[in-house]
């Protein structure tokens, strides 16, 4: 079987697995903790890039599922179809749509230039860094601060920095990049700043795209 078709099958099965397990998790968390389930989806779906770089060799095929989810997420946002994924407060922005848009853009661009690995740090920082930072920020009491019109917490931003550093360090080792400690610190700092100033879910676009651009100029 063609590896692109196999990749689409694996990616689809993985997405289904993430949503099925998130549904199971939601049965064990209280209503006020439903954000944990949303962030579980947010984090786990970032891992799909490993499937992409392992199987896809054409930018349009790589972008197929993300483009589909731009449409699905937009419909779900408007009509609250995938309830486990949606916030009740719509004023929080279009985070789920932005997530799919960023994956679409990165699929089109990085696969077109035949270098999709450069997007791995940014996508995983979006998934793990931003996802866990939100959980930590809401569950650990700490001082709030405001950057422009964006409100963040010290605990959340600290978590974003630490997790972004660890994610970058591990992905750089995976990518075989040298002098990784300094580069990982720089990426973690920039990621934290970008996440802090991005409002209404825009960090799902700004973090992966800008970090990918920086990584592309680092290696």
* Predicted confidence (pLDDT) per residue in 105-115, tens digit: 999 999 999 99
- pLDDT of the residue at 104: 98
> Tokens at residue 163, please?
């997790």
Cα distances from 15 to residues 51, 104, 163, 170, in angstroms, run: 11, 16, 23, 23
Q: How far apart are CA 3 and CA 56, in angstroms?
A: 7
Q: For the chain, report the end-to-end CA distance as a whole number of angstroms.
A: 34
Q: Give the pLDDT score at 92.
A: 66
What is the model's pLDDT at position 124? 98
Confidence of residue 172 (pLDDT cuts 50, 70, 90): very high
Distances 132 to 60, 74, 153, 219 between C-alpha atoms, Å:
31, 24, 13, 27
Mean pLDDT for the stretch of residues 13-27: 93
- Asked if the model's pLDDT at residue 3 lies above 70, the reply is yes
Between 101 and 135, name the one with better pLDDT: 101
For 52-103, the pLDDT digits (tens) are: 999 999 999 999 999 999 999 999 998 888 888 877 666 667 889 999 999 9
Do the beta carbons of residue 196 and residue 150 sit within 8 Å?
yes
Q: Are 45 and 18 in contact (CB under 8 A)?
A: yes
Asked whether the beta carbons of 77 and 66 are under 8 A apart, the reply is no
Is residue 180's pLDDT more than 70?
yes
pLDDT of residue 141: 85
* Predicted confidence band of residue 27 (pLDDT cuts 50, 70, 90): confident
**Which tokens go with 67?**
């483009």
Give pLDDT, residue 166.
Answer: 97
Torsion of CA 73, 205, 121, 61, to 10 degrees: 50
Q: Give percent above pLDDT 70 in the chain.
A: 95
| Arithmetic mean of pLDDT, 198-214 | 94
Region of residue 114 (phi > 0: left; psi between -120 and 50: alpha; otherwise: beta): left
Long-range interactions of 151-156: CB distance < 8 A, separation 24+: 152/195, 152/196
Q: Over pLDDT 90: what percentage of the chain?
A: 71
pLDDT at residue number 88: 66
Check: CB of residue 169 under 8 Å from CB of residue 181: yes
- Judged by average pLDDT, the poorest of 15-24, 68-77, 137-146 is 137-146
Average pLDDT over residues 42-52: 97
**Mean pLDDT, the chain, integer:** 91
31 has pLDDT over 80:
no
């Amino acid at each position: 079987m063609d590896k692109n078709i196999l990749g689409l099958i694996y990616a689809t099965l993985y997405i289904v697995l993430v949503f099925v397990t998130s549904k199971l998790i939601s049965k064990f968390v209280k209503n006020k903790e439903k954000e944990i389930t949303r962030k579980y989806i947010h984090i786990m779906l970032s891992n799909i890039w490993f499937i992409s770089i392992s199987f896809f060799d054409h930018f349009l095929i790589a972008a197929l599922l993300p483009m589909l989810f731009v449409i699905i997420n937009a419909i779900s946002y408007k009509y609250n179809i995938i309830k486990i994924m949606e916030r009740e407060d719509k004023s929080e922005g279009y985070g789920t749509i932005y997530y799919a848009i960023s994956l679409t853009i990165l699929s089109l661009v990085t696969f077109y230039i035949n270098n999709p690995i450069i997007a791995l740090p940014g996508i995983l920082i979006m998934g793990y860094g931003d996802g866990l930072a939100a959980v930590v920020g809401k569950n650990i009491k700490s001082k709030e601060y405001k950057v422009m019109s964006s409100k963040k917490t010290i605990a959340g931003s600290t978590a974003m920095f630490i997790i972004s550093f660890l994610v970058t360090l591990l992905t750089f080792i995976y990518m075989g990049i040298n002098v990784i400690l300094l580069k990982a610190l720089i990426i973690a700092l920039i990621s934290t700043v970008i996440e802090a100033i991005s409002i209404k879910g825009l960090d799902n676009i700004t973090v992966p795209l800008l970090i990918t651009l920086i990584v592309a100029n680092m290696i």
